[in-house]
Amino acid sequence: MNKKERVEYIQRRLIELYPNPAVPLEHKDAYTLLIAVILSAQCTDVRVNQITPKLFKKADNPCDMARMRVKSIEAIIRPCGLAPSKAKVISGTSKMILEKYAGKVPDTLEALESLPGVGHKTASVVMSQAFNIPAFPVDTHIHRLSYRWGLSTGKNVTITELDCKKVFPKNIWNKLHIQMIYFGREYCPARKHDPIICPICSVIGRKTLFK
């Protein structure tokens, strides 16, 4: 099976398994999604979804969040880990959105990446999931799967993103990256992965994968 055939099979199988994948992080708008993604760094989506209702009850918009003391934010988000740094980022980002973007989350990668503590992956998630603008955020699951499926060399997430964008149609990026996340969690984990029973690895063939 050549790369083109692998790509086509991967697309078909992911659509069969996850025809309408829900966004993993619960949110109601671009701002709450941005905060949730910030909290998700080195933390599970399940844990983030347990904490954000408590935080958003206090402040679910940049204005209210900017008024909160950093220590108060930190106390609420502590279960997500890295609370001191994340609290500062949330506070700083909220203030910048108010001051520079009139209280609205910007809808360009450049502007999002200018926010305190907001990197390319976080910005890409907001672009794709909040604004429905094609983007391909690469997390650890997508990075791992792209390497296993022979779609990328796996040297770093930047290369993986570029490689995936080359082989997958732009109009499916937003849904595809979510499908790959769910597949990585359910069928293709980092540890104790059995390619013989994996719904995709077992079909595209182990010999096609990068060693």
Question: Hey, which residues are catalytic here?
Answer: 121, 139
Please give, one letter per residue, the 3-state secondary structure of 122-173. HHHHHHHHCCCCCCCCCCHHHHHHHHHCCCCCCCCHHHHHHHHHHHCCHHHH
Question: What values do phi and psi take at 167, rounded to 5?
Answer: -100, -20
Q: Which of 20, 23, 65, 71 is nearest to 48 (CA)?
A: 23
Closest C-alpha among 83, 103, 84, 79 to residue 93: 103
